[in-house]
Amino acid sequence: MNSVSELSLWIEIPVAVLLVLSSLFALCGAIGLLRLKDFFQRMHPPALASTLGAWCVALASILYFSALKSTPVLHAWLIPILLAITVPVTTLLLARTSLFRKRIAGEDVPPEVSSGGRSEGGN
Amino acid sequence: MKRLFPAPWLSLALWLLWLVLNLSLSAGNLLLGAALGFLAPLMFAPLRPLPIHIRRPGVVIKLFFVVGRDVVASNIAVARGVLMAGKKPPRSRFIKIPLDLRDANGLAALSMITTVVPGTIWSELALDRSVLLLHVFDLDDEAQFIRHFKDTYERPLMEIFE
């Protein structure tokens, strides 16, 4: 990548800041996953990596490659959009499975919100 | 026309997606993307997706930015909660939110929003779609949270889908 030096500092600084921010959020998510105790609590921090973490990387990529090629290179935005569509599928599945198992095990979780019959997931 | 293109917006979106992914407007890619946009909805038709009627596109755009702002705010809140967890454990708990939104597509959009915003997890929907069980990472005031949830997410979705 010898073309890096051709970029002005005004592009390099925001790109670097965005990349560091993104990695900090991903790190926070990992720490949370490691340190929190309860299963449902631990489901929250990984969302940091799939939202702001991914957004910052995508933005940095757009800035960097747009500056490098001197035309807008916007397709990295597809990553956050596709993540926003796919991540809820696994998150919902995990939450529903865990609730189901914890209820059978008699752990301290709320009872089914609908009276009678089996309950249904989000979509 | 309706038979050939059961979901015209989906066809258009897939076509654009293909072109953006390939970063090309060559004849071959235009054709391949169009084939994808034409065939995919026909293949998905047996899944019987519910027809979507989107009203008030202005509200859609506004909701998009509101969710974006809330994602940034709650990212910071959850990150702080994680780092301070040793001193001050987050007040995580389940809450029940009464729902007025009944449209299946609207509820799907609502579940996407709650999952994408860190700090809330969609856990269960009552069979008659009247109550939602939500897990919140750090809950301060339950009544205020429910009011905020209904005002910022549910009402715009009702305007869009119902």
The answer to whether residues B70 and B33 belong to one domain is no
Nearest to B96 by CA among A87, A123, A38, A110: A110
Q: Are B125 and B86 in a shared domain?
A: yes
Cβ within 8 Å of residue B135, ≥6 positions away:
A40, A43, A95, B92, B93, B94, B120, B121, B123
Q: What is the predicted ipTM? A: 0.80
How crowded is residue A5: how many other Cβ atoms within 10 Å of its Cβ?
Answer: 7
Mean pLDDT of residues grouped by 10 in chain B (162 residues)?
Answer: 76 88 85 89 80 82 93 92 88 91 90 91 89 91 92 92 84
- Could you report the per-residue pLDDT of A25-48, keeping only the tens digit for each? 999 999 999 988 889 999 999 999
Q: Count how many domains chain B has.
A: 2
B101 plus B38 within the same structural domain: no
Please give the single-letter amino acid code of residue B69.
R
pLDDT, tens only, A40-73: 999 999 999 999 999 999 999 999 988 888 888 8
Instruction: Give yes or no: residues B42 and B62 share one domain.
Output: no
Asked if B111 lies within 8 A of A40 by C-beta distance, the reply is: no
Whether residue B85 lies inside any domain: the answer is yes
Instruction: Give domain status of residue B95, yes or no.
Output: yes
Chain B closest-CA separation from residue A108 CA (Å): 11
- B89 and B131 housed in the same domain: yes
Could you tell me if B13 and B77 lie in one domain?
A: no
Range of the domain at B61: 57-161
Interface of A with B (CB under 8 A): 24-25, 28-29, 31-32, 35-36, 38, 40-41, 43-45, 47-48, 51-52, 55, 73-75, 78, 84-85, 87-88, 91-92, 95-96, 99, 109-110, 112-114, 117-123
What residue in B sits closest to A98 (Cα-Cα)?
B123
- Is there a single domain that holds both residue B19 and residue B39? yes
